[in-house]
Amino acid sequence: MNAPPRGPALYRWASRERLLALCFAALGLGACSGPITGLPIEPGDAPIPPGDPAYATTLQIRYLGAGGVLLKRGEDALLAAPFFSNPSMLRVAFGEVRWRKEEVDRFLGPKDRDDLAAVSGVIVGHAHYDHLMDLPYIKQTYLPKAKIYGSDTARNTLLGDETLKKKPEDLVSVEHQAWAAPPAGQPEPVVVWTQVNERIRFLALKSEHAPIFLGIKFFEGHYREPLPVIPTSAWAWREGETLAYLIDFLGPDGKTVEFRVHYQDTASNPPLGFPPPSVVPPDGRGVDVAILCVPGHTQVKGYPAGIVERLRPRLAVLIHWEDFFAPLPDDPRDLRTVALLQGERFIEALKPALNGAPYRMPAPGTWLRYAR
């Protein structure tokens, strides 16, 4: 499948999904964000400046909102695709969606250029608008050295951007080397790491996108060929293959794992999103930080407990919890959760699985520190 029809035919395309979206909006679910009362939202830590001895030995994690996370150890940095434009639910369901320069620059201004200029790679979990739409502008403005890694659909969608299509080598699909748990009794597939630079590597893992509500998924499908233009309808930002990632920050020898992070930007049923048993923990290196998507946990079974029990992380970081159908407020006290979050229920399931390890639920813009 490739680009959906335009004009009146657009509304015949995916008519079932649009009817469901109408019901979703009519019920008020799209606008029914919730208060953060009772949730442990925190302002986080101060960033460590260059020159501080801890700068090169601490993993710094900056939550940017939606699925966006900056992982930084010294001058080595990896980014999970951020999103700031936050169109309304009605616009997502029935109108046009476009990246908004003023919203991106409000959160990624001149003060962030140095941090982001160090980014060597951007990982994309799936190709929905709320993970991919702001990326062409962010790449062109803030990420001069970065390659973007994701699915075939993510790459083919981004190739519709006039600037990105001039450097197709910066858009890399890792879909066909993503590791997946084999059927019972079958040998483990080959483990293929992607080297971002000499001191960062990742392993793509086959995952899935949880339904939105009542077992219903939106914006499914794939693009098998590059798009001629960037989509302007949320329905045309198709999901593609959903991936999770195991990320290693390596020592000066390029082999020793100093920090290991597991990242996924949507809830999934076990064992989707799980790392290979030959890597975690038999290589002697467990997971330091598990970055977990909160929404969708009620639509799948065994999440987050299953993935956490498998990873045994030393720290869990909870993301994508805030309302992304409205502009992010300047004051974090004005933040609201996305509809149907049930964040306290998520935490109740998470805490026993962590077996005493801490968890943190940062506000967008927050820096966190992790040191072994």
Percentage of the chain lying above the pLDDT 70 cut? 91
Cα separations in angstroms, 291 against 93, 137, 288, 318:
29, 25, 10, 6
Q: What is the pLDDT of residue 33?
A: 82
The whole-angstrom separation of Cα 315 and Cα 222 is 34
For the cut 60, the answer to whether the pLDDT of residue 216 exceeds it is yes
Cα of first residue to Cα of last residue in the chain, in angstroms, is 47
Question: Checking DSSP bridges between strand 41-42 and strand 59-65, what pairing results, if any?
Answer: unpaired
Would you say 26 and 69 are in contact if contact means Cβ atoms under 8 Å apart? no
Q: Which among 77, 81, 42, 43 has a CA at the least distance from the CA of 60? A: 77
For the cut 90, the answer to whether the pLDDT of residue 127 exceeds it is yes
Q: What is the pLDDT of residue 362?
A: 97
Q: Which of 4-13, 44-53, 217-226, 252-261 has the lowest mean pLDDT?
A: 4-13
Question: Residue 25 class from Cβ within 10 Å (0-12 exposed, 13-18 middle, 19+ buried)?
Answer: middle
Q: What is the pLDDT of residue 49?
A: 93
Count H helices and E strands in the chain, helices first: 10, 17
Question: Which residues lie across from 243 on neighbouring strands?
Answer: 206
The torsion defined by the Cα of 286, 258, 194 and 276, in degrees rounded to 10, comes to -10
Q: Which among 18, 8, 1 has a CA at the least distance from the CA of 92? A: 18
Averaged pLDDT score across all residues of the chain: 90
**Average pLDDT score over residue span 16-27:** 51
**Average pLDDT score over residue span 256-276:** 96
Q: What is the pLDDT of residue 6?
A: 46
For the cut 60, the answer to whether the pLDDT of residue 19 exceeds it is no
Q: What is the pLDDT of residue 9?
A: 39
Sorting pLDDT into bands at 50, 70 and 90, what band is 110?
confident
Q: What is the pLDDT of residues 312-359, one digit of tens each?
A: 999 999 999 999 999 999 888 899 999 889 999 999 999 999 999 999
- What does the DSSP 8-state code read for residue 340? T
HSE-up of 25 (CA within 13 Å, CB side)? 14
Classified as helix, coil or strand, 273 is coil
Question: Checking DSSP bridges between strand 119-123 and strand 76-80, what pairing results, if any?
Answer: parallel
Residue type, 106: R
Q: What is the pLDDT of residue 148?
A: 98
Beta strands in the chain, from DSSP E residues, in sequence order: 34-35, 41-42, 59-65, 68-73, 76-80, 119-123, 147-150, 171-173, 194-197, 200-206, 243-250, 257-263, 289-293, 315-319, 336-337, 359-362, 367-370
Q: What is the pLDDT of residue 372?
A: 81
Q: What is the pLDDT of residues 288-314, one digit of tens each?
A: 999 999 999 999 999 999 999 999 999
Fold (CATH) for 9-370 = Metallo-beta-lactamase; Chain A (3.60.15)
Sorting pLDDT into bands at 50, 70 and 90, what band is 2?
low
Would you say 323 and 363 are in contact if contact means Cβ atoms under 8 Å apart? no
Beta strands in 251-330, from DSSP E residues, in sequence order: 257-263, 289-293, 315-319
Sorting pLDDT into bands at 50, 70 and 90, what band is 27?
very low
Percentage of the chain lying above the pLDDT 90 cut? 77
Residue type, 240: G
**Average pLDDT score over residue span 210-216:** 84
Helix (H) or strand (E) holding 90: helix 89-94
For the cut 90, the answer to whether the pLDDT of residue 132 exceeds it is yes
Would you say 200 and 76 are in contact if contact means Cβ atoms under 8 Å apart? yes
Question: Which residues lie across from 179 on neighbouring strands?
Answer: 205
Q: Which residues contact 180 (CB under 8 A, 6 or more apart)?
A: 189, 205, 206, 272
Q: What is the pLDDT of residues 153-197, one digit of tens each?
A: 999 999 999 999 999 999 999 999 999 999 888 998 999 999 999
What DSSP assignment string belongs to 142-201?
Answer: H-TT-EEEE-HHHHHHHTTSTTGGG-GGGEEE-GGG-B-PPPTTSPPPPP--EEEETTEE
Selected residue with higher pLDDT from 318 and 19: 318
CA dihedral over 37, 39, 40, 44, signed as positive or negative = negative
